[in-house]
Structure 1
Amino acid sequence: MLEEPFNRLAKLYMDTIFRLAFHYTKSPVEADDITQEVLLKLYRTDKAFESDEHAKYWLIRVTINECKRLFQSPWHKVAPIEDYAATLAFPSEEHSALFYAVMELPKKYRVPIFLHYYENYSCEEVAQLLSIPCATVRTHLRRGRALLKTYLQEAGDYV
């Protein structure tokens, strides 16, 4: 890939790649490694993207595949979420509580919620990205929201 299009796409989607990898791994170090690996693949690709949305879709697919590859590795460790959360600045206590609640969700709920609510993908697009049926995405979103509600109510926050 030429350097100028690579730089533009890397700047545009680096945060999205990191956030998705972080939602998969719960580790900022592993999310950084995955982000670097995905950006290297972008730099090395000779794929011609039709639009920025096409490039974003490709990057998200590659990120998901890299996350899955990581979980198959015998070196995979889970770091405490509190260490990373301490480096974040939340606008309010509610945002902080929501972050912790989302990160407590099982991966099968956490990742679709991230893609749907944070990245604004439709259920159909999330299904394509995760290679699962659309009905499964809707079920995961519904169950994830129910778990979030339970977590937040147990923490004393009001939903």
Structure 2
Amino acid sequence: MDAEKWFREAVERHRDMVFRLAYTYLRDPADADDVTQDVFVKLLRSGKRFEGDEHLRYWLVRVTINECKSLFRKPWRRVEDIEAYAETLQAPSEQHRDLLVRVMRLPEKYRVPMVLHYYIGLSTDEVARAIKVPAATVRTRLARGRARLKSMLEGEKR
């Protein structure tokens, strides 16, 4: 397969994952779009050969995280209203959209592992490597994130 065709297919397969991860970190759709574009420009320029789709996916996750962290250091960063943005997302149901809004309200240390594991589908070991923490820490953060979500949901039912 020629390089151009491979790149186009890689973008098609992974664009949504990169955007979701960037949005998870940044909570701003415009910034997430910018990071997504930057990640794929880096992929295009890298000339890197990947052992398979999983290797490519992990590389994209790592570069996306690095780009987001770099953007956090910019003085002009702002955060959009999560509920307003959630209204623009296509979700299977209103419940899925509501759950995403609640996940996005979690602190970053819980939000990022939850999105990487539950939305993007990385194993806890892959999440650990991506965010550079021990796998046990990832499992703890997932459990605590779920507990916080449960608490949010129970608090709203009262």
Structure 1 residues 21-77: Cα deviation after superposition (integer angstroms, max 9, x where no partner)? 011111111100000000100110111111011111101100000010011111111
TM-score (norm 2): 0.94
Superposed, 1:6-85 pairs within 5 Å as 6-85=7-86
**What RMSD, in angstroms, separates the aligned Cα atoms of the two structures?**
1.5
Q: Which moved more, 1:10-19 or 1:92-101?
A: 92-101
CA distance, structure 1, for counterparts of residue 90 and residue 8 of structure 2: 27
Q: Structure 1 stretches (4+) deviating beyond 4 angstroms?
A: none
Structure 1 residues 105-127: Cα deviation after superposition (integer angstroms, max 9, x where no partner)? 01110110011111221111100
Q: Percent identity?
A: 52
Q: Which residue pairs with 1:2 in the alignment?
A: 3
Cα deviation for residue 80 of structure 1 reads 1.0
Q: Is the 8 A contact 2:89 2:97 kept in 1?
A: no
TM-score (norm 1): 0.93
SS at match of 1:155: helix
SS at match of 1:68: helix
Write the letter of the residue equivalent to 2:130. L
Name the count of aligned residue pairs: 157
CA distance, structure 2, for counterparts of residue 91 and residue 6 of structure 1: 29
Q: Is the 8 A contact 1:97 1:152 kept in 2?
A: no
The unaligned stretches of length 5 or more in structure 1 are none
Q: Which moved more, 1:94-103 or 1:123-132?
A: 94-103
